[in-house]
Amino acid sequence: MDAPSRAASAEPRGTRPNIVFIMSDDHAVQAISAYGHPVSKLAPTPNIDRIAQNGVVFRNSFVTNSLCGPSRAAMLTGKFGHVNGFNKNGETFDASQWTWPRALKEAGYQTAVIGKWHIGPTPEGIDFDYWKILDDQGKYYNPDFITAGGRTRVEGYATDLITRYSLDWLKTRRDPDKPFMLMVHHKAPHRNFMPALRHVQKYQGVEFPVPPTYFDDYKSRPAAARQEMNIYRDAQEGHDLKMTVAVGSTRLRENIWPDDFDRMTPAQRAEWDRLHQAGNDAMNAAGLEGRDMALWKYQRYMQEYLGTVAAVDEGVGELLDYLEESGLAENTIVVYTSDQGFYLGEHGWFDKRWIYEESMRTPLLVQYPGHIRGGTTVDALVQNIDYAPTLLECAGVPAPGGIQGRSLAPLVEGKPPADWRRSLYYHYYEFPGFHSVRAHYGVRSDRYKLARFYGDIDAWEFYDLKADPTEMHNRIDDPAYREEIATMKAELARLREYYGDETPHSGRANAPR
Ligand code: SGN
Ligand code: CA
């Protein structure tokens, strides 16, 4: 991943690389086969995996705050939320501040963003040459798109439309004489997990392995006990799980935001219902209860979630095919990532937010022919604040001071700097909010994790990830870990000072004790 200047002798092209930055929404690493999780073996992602075969997989890639808007703001600025000012969904990103897409534009790149945006009204303030975004969270079927010219509802499936618009921009809209940076931002596989009609039945006959923590009792973890993101308790049976009220009926159970279904055309809806009918009738006929119903819900959740991933993977394949056929691939960096990880039933959950592994992780795969050897893996701790300095370096654009992330280029070259970070800082703020996860901040090293939950509780947690990779045993009061806990508390204090996080500003939770 050398900057072109350094690579000039090896790469006679001499032109600045293009960048295709593909980001899905809530795509768990467990659901990408390049990461090797058992779930992904049953629902592989052959096209996303092509990026791994052509380039690098970051096996320890994390976010700063596992939530859509804050994650996107951190990526755009290379800074934590307490610095870039965006800590919770619903806030408005201060577009006057420095961002890497604008820096690329100022350096002569042509820039475009297509798909989910969700950090404020529109990308106008960041001066993209072209933007076509989903309204707010976006809808799977017949979504509204917003451009500089206004809002239009388009018949079709969001993932396919975003792929089509991206290809259209690459083929016909951009200026072929300039280097380009295209952001392809999918809505999928975000809630409410609606697959394309062609994928609704893709996983209906598949039995996914139930996570050993699915029936977690949250013992020793008071914050974890108080969330509202349990698949068998909190997912809406209609809206999320597409369950019907009775055998023979197509009427959905609890569906408090009916627009996701109501906006389908009659033909789409009829086909949707038909494709779900047999599964729903069997469930209703069986009269499932308790644990059996919870297990049925897990399988249904996985079928729907992974069904939405299938269209994302196809879209990635179409983009890669086009880049290859057009000859653009050889001078184009392709990034695949998500705005955060997600729970696929671990601890009984869907959603994200926690410093725990499944949500703090996020996929990161990059190809850059001639600069990254295919099949490379990196195990160093990387974070979404690193994207900005990395991509700038590749484009040969100088980075301003104040960026908190670091370029990943030396890691890919197998030359990790001696002072590469040994731990990651994390801070989640949105409480009260959807799913009721308490605000918390913490630190993760390659082996340990320490977190402090604050607000209406004040609770510390400590995990030994080697002994307890599923984070079931909070060891904060275990004398056997006294030294490690003290070390991690000191590391947390160091990181808060190093990154300048003085939030929360008041109350007992201000300073780690
Ligand atoms: C929506 C979802 C929530 C989700 C948030 C944040 N509900 O509100 O389940 O946590 O988005 O997601 S929904 O049924 O209306 O989709 S994020 O990816 O934007 O952070
Ligand atoms: Ca998200």
| 408-419 pLDDT, tens digit each | 999 999 999 999
Measured from the CB, is residue 67 less than 6 Å from ligand 1?
yes
Segment 213-232 shows an average pLDDT of 97
**CB neighbour list of residue 500: distance below 8 Å, 6 or more residues apart:** 82, 83
Atom of ligand 1 nearest to the CA of 352: 10
* Strand 180-185 versus strand 110-115 pairing type: parallel
From residue 102, how far is each of 76, 110, 399, 406, 460 by CA, in Å? 9, 10, 12, 19, 40
Atom of ligand 1 nearest to the CA of 351: 10
CB 328 within 8 A of CB 205: no
* Pairwise CA distance, residues 222 & 436, whole Å: 13
Q: Helix (H, G, I), strand (E, B), or coil: what is residue 288?
A: coil
- For ligand 1, the distance from its centroid to the CA atom of residue 243, given in whole angstroms, is 20
Structure token pair of residue 86 = 């965006």
Using a pLDDT cut of 90, give the percent of the chain over it.
94
Q: Helix (H, G, I), strand (E, B), or coil: what is residue 42?
A: helix
Identify the pLDDT of residue 15: 82
> Which ligand neighbours the alpha carbon of 434 most closely?
1
Q: State the CATH architecture for 425-499.
A: 2-Layer Sandwich (3.30)
Statement: residue 10 has pLDDT above 80 = no
- For ligand 2, the distance from its centroid to the CA atom of residue 336, given in whole angstroms, is 14
**CB neighbour list of residue 488: distance below 8 Å, 6 or more residues apart:** 443, 445, 448, 449, 450, 462
* Pairwise CA distance, residues 116 & 188, whole Å: 9
- For ligand 1, the distance from its centroid to the CA atom of residue 25, given in whole angstroms, is 10
Identify the pLDDT of residue 505: 74
Measured from the CB, is residue 192 less than 6 Å from ligand 1?
yes
Identify the pLDDT of residue 79: 98
Measured from the CB, is residue 27 less than 6 Å from ligand 1?
no
Statement: residue 452 has pLDDT above 90 = yes
Statement: residue 9 has pLDDT above 90 = no
* Sign of CA pseudo-dihedral 123, 192, 358, 318: negative
**Atom 2, ligand 1: which residue's CA is nearest?**
191
Identify the pLDDT of residue 506: 52
245-254 pLDDT, tens digit each: 999 999 999 9
- Residue to mutate (ligand 1; options 27, 64, 190; most atoms within 8 A of CB): 190
Sketch the domain layout of the chain as residue ranges.
Answer: 18-192+302-415, 223-301, 425-499
Q: Helix (H, G, I), strand (E, B), or coil: what is residue 329?
A: helix
From residue 388, how far is each of 18, 86, 337, 343, 367 by CA, in Å? 15, 16, 13, 27, 16
Is residue 5 very low, low, confident or very high in pLDDT (cuts 50, 70, 90)? very low
> Exposed/middle/buried for 444, CB within 10 Å: 0-12, 13-18, 19+?
buried
Let me know if the fold of 18-192+302-415 is the same as that of 425-499. no
308-360 pLDDT, tens digit each: 999 999 999 999 999 999 999 999 999 999 999 999 999 999 999 999 999 99
Cis peptide, bond prior to residue 230, ω within 30 of zero: no
- Residue to mutate (ligand 1; options 26, 75, 89; most atoms within 8 A of CB): 89
468-498 pLDDT, tens digit each: 999 999 999 999 999 999 999 999 999 999 9
Structure token pair of residue 136 = 């707010």
Segment 149-175 shows an average pLDDT of 98
* Pairwise CA distance, residues 489 & 485, whole Å: 6
List alpha helices for 45-157, DSSP H: 46-54, 68-77, 81-84, 100-106
Angle at 207 between CA 201 and CA 209, to 5 degrees: 135
- Name the CATH superfamily for 18-192+302-415: Alkaline Phosphatase, subunit A (3.40.720.10)
- For ligand 2, the distance from its centroid to the CA atom of residue 181, given in whole angstroms, is 22
255-274 pLDDT, tens digit each: 999 999 999 999 999 999 99
More confident residue, 11 or 244: 244
**CB neighbour list of residue 250: distance below 8 Å, 6 or more residues apart:** 244, 273, 277
**Atom 19, ligand 1: which residue's CA is nearest?**
68
Q: Helix (H, G, I), strand (E, B), or coil: what is residue 460?
A: strand
* Pairwise CA distance, residues 69 & 150, whole Å: 22
- For ligand 1, the distance from its centroid to the CA atom of residue 352, given in whole angstroms, is 10
The closest alpha carbon to 313, from 160, 209, 139, 142, belongs to 160
Q: Rounded mean pLDDT of the chain? A: 95
- For ligand 2, the distance from its centroid to the CA atom of residue 506, given in whole angstroms, is 29
> Which ligand neighbours the alpha carbon of 359 most closely?
2
Statement: residue 229 has pLDDT above 70 = yes
Structure token pair of residue 25 = 């929404």
Q: What is the ipTM of this complex?
A: 0.96
Measured from the CB, is residue 190 less than 6 Å from ligand 1?
yes
Phi and psi torsions of 278, nearest 5°: -60, -45
Identify the pLDDT of residue 512: 36
Statement: residue 4 has pLDDT above 50 = no
- Residue to mutate (ligand 1; options 93, 116, 187, 191; most atoms within 8 A of CB): 191
79-115 pLDDT, tens digit each: 999 999 999 999 999 999 999 999 999 999 999 999 9
Segment 279-308 shows an average pLDDT of 98
28-46 pLDDT, tens digit each: 999 999 999 999 999 999 9
Identify the pLDDT of residue 177: 95
Segment 166-170 shows an average pLDDT of 98
Angle at 326 between CA 323 and CA 328, to 5 degrees: 55
Statement: residue 8 has pLDDT above 50 = no
Angle at 444 between CA 435 and CA 416, to 5 degrees: 130
Atom of ligand 1 nearest to the CA of 236: 14
Angle at 17 between CA 13 and CA 23, to 5 degrees: 155
Identify the pLDDT of residue 56: 98
Identify the pLDDT of residue 14: 53
Structure token pair of residue 142 = 């017949």
Measured from the CB, is residue 68 less than 6 Å from ligand 1?
yes
- Residue to mutate (ligand 1; options 434, 435, 436, 437; most atoms within 8 A of CB): 434
Measured from the CB, is residue 257 less than 6 Å from ligand 1?
yes
Dihedral Cα 385, 388, 391, 393, nearest 10 deg: -100
The closest alpha carbon to 512, from 446, 456, 438, 459, belongs to 459
Structure token pair of residue 459 = 């609770």
**Atom 17, ligand 1: which residue's CA is nearest?**
68
